[in-house]
Amino acid sequence: MTAAGPAAGPAAGPAVAPAVVAVVAFDGVQLLDVTGPAEVFTTANMFGARYDVRIVSPDGADVRTSSGLRVGVDGGPQTLPARLHTLVVPGRSDWRRAVADRRLVAFVGELLGRSRRITSVCAGAFVLAETGALDGRRAATHWRLAAQLATAYPRVRVETDPVFVRDGDVVTSAGVTAGIDLALSLVEDDHGADVARDVARELVVFMARPGGQSQFSARLAPRTARHPVVRRVMDAVGADPATPHSLDSLADSAGVSARHLSRLFRSETGRTPGQYLESVRLEAAQALLESGDDSVDTVAEAAGFGSSETMRRVFQQAFGIAPTAYRARFRTTAPAAPIRG
């Protein structure tokens, strides 16, 4: 596979040179680190952008990614123009092998001086750090690797929670799919929020995901329930989260004792019935905030929280932001303003 160039469109005034985006590829690279940003930039061409996305490797040869799939590249350094608009440096989970690849590090180091904007995805931050590009800068990487980046490169100011971090013209992102978040933010920088929003809708992704990386390191998804009693209660809660469910009412409807239902839930999902009910109400509130303009009070009532204050507390615990800030994430990739009070 290779990336598509800028979309052709009707001429309108003087031709504008496409913005060349070079995405570095190398053996063992994370596939989505490469294809995620490339897909965002090329999709933006459908909505008026002019990106010329080129997948390049140090020797111009195709590469085998971490998943075993081969990626066809557009060439090596000699195929790129003297000046690049954006450089994207993906990573590999075994970052030590990446930084030990002197040809790769030298290749990235050469492209740094030719690039107006420098970015990395996931463990690509280690390659940038190896070149010295992150010395004295704030940077992000996958939450599991953040401590290793800080230890291996003490001159880098590692931030563990943000999905991506900007420091001047250097932008580094968290793990794997965060490369999509990063690329959307760059499209917004270049072409405005409307184009970035069109791309997000086309790709069916968040304009900007709520919360930071901590939600992935700290929150665990429930396991699939096999017991029919638990599935029955889950179905009842999912069908009508606004009903004032209680442990006793759920147990009565399932024909078991409250204590037995609690034991079954913990065994099957790792959660209490109350925690599951709260998670369903949270998802319902998310959907209402994403898709409509109802007031926070109305959303809280419709989702079963009873009050906006209760919903605000749950959102803060789950995502670290208030419901109003969560809704704002669907308007722009810019970080939401701090919520006070």
| Edge-to-edge order in the sheet of strand 51-56 | 51-56, 19-24, 84-89, 115-120, 170-173, 164-167
Residue-level pLDDT at 339 = 42
State the Cα–Cα distance between residues 260 and 231, nearest whole angstrom.
14
User: Distance between CA atoms of 82 and 165, rounded to whole angstroms?
Assistant: 27
* DSSP line for 267-331: HHHSS-HHHHHHHHHHHHHHHHHHH----HHHHHHHHT-SSHHHHHHHHHHHHSS-HHHHHHTTT
Instruction: For residue 256, give the DSSP letter.
Output: S
pLDDT at 294: 87
Query: Residue 71: what residue type?
Result: V
pLDDT one digit per residue (tens) for the chain, 341 residues = 556 555 544 444 455 789 999 999 999 999 999 999 999 999 999 999 999 999 999 999 999 999 999 999 999 999 999 999 999 999 998 999 999 999 999 999 999 999 999 999 999 999 999 999 999 999 999 888 988 999 999 999 998 767 888 999 999 998 778 899 899 999 999 999 889 989 988 998 876 655 555 434 333 344 456 788 988 888 888 778 888 999 999 999 899 999 999 999 888 877 889 988 998 898 888 878 877 788 999 999 999 998 999 999 999 888 788 899 888 775 566 655 544 43
Give the list of residues 6+ apart from residue 85 with CB closer than 8 angstroms, or none. Answer: 19, 20, 21, 51, 115, 116, 117
In the chain, the DSSP E strands lie at 19-24, 51-56, 63-64, 70-71, 84-89, 115-120, 138-139, 157-158, 164-167, 170-173
| pLDDT at site 105 | 98
pTM higher than 0.85 for the full model? no
Entry field: residues in the chain: 341
CB 208 within 8 A of CB 184: yes
Q: Do 304 and 181 form a contact (C-beta atoms < 8 A)?
A: no
Per-residue model confidence (pLDDT) at position 143: 82
* CA quadruple 66, 45, 195, 23: dihedral, nearest 10: 30
Half-sphere exposure of 130 (CA within 13 A, CB side): 24
**53 Rama sector, left if φ>0, alpha if ψ -120 to 50, beta otherwise:** beta
How many Cα atoms within 13 Å fall on the side-chain side of residue 154? 1
Residue 293: Cβ-neighbour burial (10 angstroms; 0-12, 13-18, 19+):
exposed
Instruction: Look at residue 300 in the predicted model and tell me its pLDDT.
Output: 94
pLDDT number for residue 320: 81
Structure tokens that stand for 196 in this block: 């970035």
